[in-house]
Amino acid sequence: MYHKPSFNSIESISLQLIPTAADNFIAPPCFEEITILFQDEHLLLINKPSGLLSLSGKNPANLDSVHYRLVKDFPDCTLVHRLDLGTSGIMVIARNKTVNALLCRQFSERSVLKAYTALLLGEIKNEDGFIDAPIAKDKPNFPLMKICDKEGKQARSLYRVLAKESCASLDEKTQLLNNKREHIADSVAVTRVEFIPETGRTHQLRIHSQYFGHPIIGCDLYGSDFSYRLASRLMLHATRLEFDHPITGERIVANSPCPF
């Protein structure tokens, strides 16, 4: 199911292709709808909810996904990129193979700008900076990735501090924190940041945050048990996507407000 608002405003997301290998993981049901932010005859801009796969998994239990839902009404639609299961936010969907190829070229040429909002554990001292650390597959620990100078591919993420908060303020604003907080102090510092990844490696922002010493709150793969339990979802949202319309050439600047 998806929800189409009565307006044609453009808002944003981000994803990635290639189906994941079958494993024992079964995604919990996602009851939140996809919102179509903008559409024309060539593409869709949607807002993906946290907890929904971008592409159906090989396990039959993981059929529900962005593509599975949209293809019912847009039979020729294809994914240009993917967002992780826990990541919410803006995605661009091609409505035919020609548009898919044109958009994929922009992603491969790195002419697409993607911006994310994340909540990180701890207080970041510098107001802005970058994380430059190569990423490789951690084959013995699939689906994890790892920082590896020898085998890794170049990966670079820019960050900018937006606000410094605490668990107490986070609880008031989002009501997303788990009920398992009996032993968690309200004074735990968190930092709200904007990430702009210059490259598009799998799990890039999640593993770069861990490498940086400030894991994304709610991250099950690259955080500590403590940071994971601070929120009931991955606190990562794709807020902005900029690209050239594949047919008209118009620069599209799409935005999706952060829900937390």
Element housing 97 (H / E):
helix 97-108
Cβ neighbours of residue 175 closer than 8 Å, sequence gap 6 or more = none
2-255 carries CATH number 3.30.2350.10: yes
Tens-digit pLDDT profile for residues 2-59: 555 433 444 443 444 444 444 688 999 999 999 999 999 999 999 999 999 999 999 9
Quote the CA–CA distance of 10 and 18 in Å, as a whole number.
26
Quote the CA–CA distance of 131 and 147 in Å, as a whole number.
11
Please say whether the beta carbons of 45 and 79 come within 8 A: no
Quote the CA–CA distance of 193 and 216 in Å, as a whole number.
10
Count CA atoms closer than 13 A to 240's CA, side-chain side.
Answer: 13
Please say whether the beta carbons of 117 and 13 come within 8 A: no
Structure tokens belonging to residue 4: 């189409």
Could you confirm whether 171 is annotated as catalytic?
no
Residue 241 has a CB neighbour count (10 Å cut-off) of: 25
* pLDDT for res 3: 55
Please say whether the beta carbons of 116 and 236 come within 8 A: yes
| Domain residue spans of the chain | 2-255
pTM of the model: 0.85
Tens-digit pLDDT profile for residues 143-175: 999 999 999 999 999 999 999 998 765 555 444
Quote the CA–CA distance of 89 and 240 in Å, as a whole number.
8
Structure tokens belonging to residue 217: 């709150």
Identify the active-site residue in 73, 84, 128, 132.
84
